[in-house]
Amino acid sequence: RRAMALLRVRHCRILLYCRRAPPRCPACGGDLRCAGLASAPVRLRNPFRHGHGQPRAFLIRPSHGTFLDGYDGHSDLHVGITNSQGVVYNYDQEGVHRAGGGWEQCISIPLVQPDMWELLQHWDNLLEEFSLEEAWLPHRYEEQQHNCFTFALAFVNRVRQGRSREPLSKAQFTESFLLPRTREASRYLTLHQELAHRDVYIVPLAEQEQDS
């Protein structure tokens, strides 16, 4: 199910979030249609991507359901790595899966830059060979210490090792790559959930922003 776009309108010391811009400001009653460029609706970037269209990426999705349809912000998340065709390699108690569906709404973190020619060419083979290693057999799975995140980060570090880079700890990877994306997604989800129950959601502008 595709959600309507989220819009932001700035007017009279407030930020107004909505699906459709109202003709008048709900705070001051002013006519938004004549308010000029500064109050024109701005479409917010949707942070969720169709995972199977994101090659060579680190993907995050809820273990059950989707972000925009019932995710409460606390339920378990599942992660995986895509090959060049968008097939998602992911690990759980049944071993490694190669999923061609089910990852249609994800947080996506690209892992390969366009100028990394050699890695672009060998990515699929590296991922397939890695996924066949004994470490990822079903009986090795352990929910807290040897899970989907362990699998994905271990592959990222295998690639880094091949490029003579230092491995990343879970904390380093989370801080550098995951948190900026998950914070953006969390803000978007909050707005999405607020607008499920009302037509507009109003946030007062901080004083320092009012004159900027």
Q: Distance between alpha carbon 151 and the CA centroid of its chain, in Å?
A: 19
pTM: 0.88
pLDDT of residue 3: 58
DSSP notation for the chain: -PPPPPEEEEETTEEEEESS--SB-TTT--BGGGS-GGGS-EEPPP--B-GGGS-SEEEEEESSSBTTBB--SSS-EEEEEE-TT--EEEEETTEEEEESSS-SSBEEEE---TT-HHHHHHHHHHHHHHHTSGGGSGGG-BTTTBSHHHHHHHHHHHHHHHTT-PPPPHHHHIIIIIHHHHHHHHHHHHHHHHTTS-SEEEEEPPHHHHT-
pLDDT of residue 33: 84
CA-based nearest residue to 61, from 184, 182, 159, 146: 182
Per-residue pLDDT of the chain (212 residues; tens, 9 = 90+): 455 799 999 998 899 999 999 999 998 998 988 878 888 999 999 999 999 999 999 999 999 989 998 788 888 999 999 999 999 999 999 999 999 999 999 999 999 988 888 999 999 999 999 999 999 999 999 999 999 999 999 999 999 999 999 999 999 999 999 999 999 999 999 999 999 989 999 999 875 455 44
pLDDT of residue 212: 44
pLDDT of residue 104: 96
